[in-house]
Structure 1
Amino acid sequence: MTRAHSSATWLVLAFALVVVYASLFPFAGWRVPPGGVATSLWLPWPAWFPRFDIVSNLLGYLPLGLLAYVAAVRSGWRAGAAFATAVAASALLSYTLEVLQQFLPARVPSLLDLALNAAGATLGALAGAALHAIGALERWQSWRDRWFVRESAGAIALLLLWPLGLLFPTPVPLGVGQVWDEARGWALAALAGTPWFEPAQAFLAPPSAPVPRPSLIVEAVAVALGLLVPCLIAYTVTHPGVRRLVLAAGAAAVAVGTMTLASAMNYGPDNALAWWTPAVGPGLVGGLAAAVLCLPLGRRHVAGVALVALTALVAIVAMAPTDAYYALNLQGWQQGRFIRFHGLAQWVGWFWPYVAMGWLLSRLGRAGAA
């Protein structure tokens, strides 16, 4: 059977990284377990069974098993081998993380967690097998072949992850990618105790004067670019035509819905539209207008325009200040109000633009991307 490139392959890798992050957070206090390294290979049975932990451990690995099964089948594996591999790989990942948790005093590993994780992965793989049996995966492939070019897995994965990044607090609406404050801290921590620490600290020091909030025009441009970029990424794997217009309208609807959901989660349902500043309306209209103007462009030209737009968006977001609402919002996430969802949204929100840049550069390097 011919192996196909599946977006599920990229999604299962991304979800596995999120599982690693959520399982080992906060990555601090590493030490050898009291009984020694050898004892860490044996997982203890828990003394208590919190209902929330049971449900979260069971459901947390369900998407992993589902995605792993779909990725294997879509890559040409037989159904039985795909099912066994999805369950075994998920269980092995869970066991590895439970063992590593014994080196972290803030985490409580247990054999029950491993069993629930494996059960969740099995349920996910069973769901994938059911979808395969009723032909749902084949219908998805047929729909994908009509709407997208053959090598579209990377773009589809990026588009599916984009709304998750919007759920993490952003300094401006649709303004993902503000990771520079964290990157500065990571760089200084890595250089601590070296001769380069003080020069790096002076070079990386944030501005002493408060950074003014972007004007309404700049904020509207950021909103427009934040909408335009996913539209253009979708264009790079579709042929010119009405399908692009449908995808652009869908991106706008997803952006509005996701930002409204994020505001409702952080400020409460009564403030679900708190993100809608005076710049949002003009920005969305401008982003859609730019997307319409790009409808007839070839896929390689679209990739070039998308790379320029994404670079401009990252530059604007990097210069945006941390306002009071953003700081309060961010503090709520980091203090654990959404700790079990924190990893996925945070890391996608930080790094989605830079992964997208790399993917767009790869598209530009392909002579066949007409």
Structure 2
Amino acid sequence: MARRTDGRSAAALALALTGLIVYASLYPFTGWQWPLGSSLLDLLVLPLPRRAPPFDIWANLLGYAPLGALLVLALRGRGRATLGTVLQAALACAALSYTMETAQHLIPGRFPSLLDLALNSAGGLLGALLAVLLLATGWPGHWQSWRQRWFIGGDAPLGLLLAWPLGLLFPAPFPMGLGLGWERIQDGLVGLLLDVDWAQEALEWISDVPAPIERPVAVVSGLGMVLGLLAPCLIACAVTAPGWRRLLLFGGAVALGLATTTLSAALNFGPAHALGWLGPEVFPAMVAVGVLLLLLAPLGARLAAGLGVVVLVGLVVLVAQVPADPYFADSLQAWEQGRFIRFHGLAQWIGWFWPYLALGWLLHRLAAQD
């Protein structure tokens, strides 16, 4: 039974990673057009690149390695032979890479490459072989045993906790402030309802709601930072038993949040401004977070889930009240004009919707415990 569970978990992770690869390979999903004067056969042929930066070489080689490893674990969980599993995983990675490379013929600004296909395929094979080595050492069983000791429930909360720091890489209105601002929500609703006849009254009401025009004061930013750090910690509380494990998870979450926010500032504004987000509200907020986490450590999982709902609702409401950052356009240049363009959109979507996904999971967990 444990092997089947491992296989299902690995299959779910492999599917999620495939989605990320497709996203990174085809971003920004606009401007699709058939290359002028090219036939279908021309699109099936991949050219060799004129130059290959070291970053691209390593990214293409290592990017598919986790997928190859996960595919082996997923197939192995169904009782497949080791050699056949490695071959299937490697061929699947090569097929996905070839599909992505040929599709890039249709996207302006993207350049398909035979070298990328070779590196992706080699990375998939490398990951598959590494998974066989891990299976030989019994590592998946050790991981399953460790997870059962530490966490209660499935893989969804672990996915939320792992995705949280990625969302922090996208520029936020205040530190740890994940979610959608009212201006973006308003623009989205107006776009959806603009041509809907029966919704014109609602459209007028939405359009009349004024957007925030003042930047948040230090107290608001500090409160938002407290809520933003408490949110992942309460999710961890909802899937762990009270005790020292929670304290370790709390410390790891806080350290990871601070480090990721610093990295985001460095990527967006340059290394010289990596600590520019440290305002006067940060120290009091960190003290408040430390005290609250000590109080939360002994709480039951159900109560922690309920408090998580309250915290996330407060965070969502607070972020919605904050206007757009006047430096927002400048902060995106490092992403949109550099090597991080493929990850910009992904971090953006996670940063916008992580609180809503986390809120939905917490509500589902509370309902399931009734």
Pick the TM interval, shorter chain: 0.7 to 0.9
Shift of 1:225: 0.8
Shift of 1:172: 0.5
> What is the one-letter code of the residue matched to 1:12?
A
Which stretch shows the higher mean deviation, 200-209 or 259-268? 200-209
Shift of 1:231: 0.6
Contact 1:224 1:288 in 2 (8 A): no
Partner of 2:57: 54
Partner of 1:332: 334
Which whole-Å CA distance do the structure 1 matches of 2:137 and 2:124 have between them? 20
Indicate how the Cα distance of structure 1 residues 349 and 86 shifts in structure 2: closer, same or farther if over 3 A, else same. Answer: farther
What do residues 43-90 of structure 1 show as CA deviations (whole Å, max 9, x unaligned)? 333352423443332222223223443455567766455534433333
Partner of 2:278: 276
Give unpaired runs (5+ residues) of structure 2.
none
Which whole-Å CA distance do the structure 1 matches of 2:193 and 2:211 have between them? 25
Partner of 2:157: 155
Which stretch shows the higher mean deviation, 80-89 or 265-274? 80-89
Which whole-Å CA distance do the structure 2 matches of 1:280 and 1:81 have between them? 54
The two structures, once aligned, show a CA RMSD in angstroms of 3.2
> What is the one-letter code of the residue matched to 1:104?
I
Identity %: 47
Partner of 1:233: 235
Shift of 1:344: 3.3
What do residues 20-50 of structure 1 show as CA deviations (whole Å, max 9, x unaligned)? 2221122222234446774376233335242
Task: From 125, 149, 156, give the equivalent of 2:128.
Answer: 125
Task: From 250, 253, 261, give the equivalent of 1:251.
Answer: 253
Indicate how the Cα distance of structure 1 residues 27 and 274 shifts in structure 2: closer, same or farther if over 3 A, else same. Answer: same
Give unpaired runs (5+ residues) of structure 1.
none
Which stretch shows the higher mean deviation, 105-114 or 268-277? 105-114
**2:237 paired with 1:224:** no
Partner of 1:285: 287
> What is the one-letter code of the residue matched to 1:115?
A
TM-score by length of 1: 0.85
Partner of 2:244: 242
Partner of 2:268: 266
Which whole-Å CA distance do the structure 1 matches of 2:96 and 2:296 have between them? 43
What do residues 102-135 of structure 1 show as CA deviations (whole Å, max 9, x unaligned)? 3323322244333322221222222222222223
SS at 1:4's partner residue? helix
Following superposition of structure 1 onto structure 2, how do residues 1-370 of structure 1 map, counting pairs within 5 Å?
A: 1-2=1-2, 3-4=4-5, 8-34=10-36, 38-39=40-41, 42-46=44-48, 48-52=50-54, 53-73=56-76, 79-80=82-83, 82-149=85-152, 151-178=153-180, 181-182=183-184, 184-185=186-187, 205=207, 211-336=213-338, 338-367=340-369
Shift of 1:276: 1.3
Indicate how the Cα distance of structure 1 residues 262 and 78 shifts in structure 2: closer, same or farther if over 3 A, else same. Answer: farther
Contact 1:220 1:279 in 2 (8 A): yes
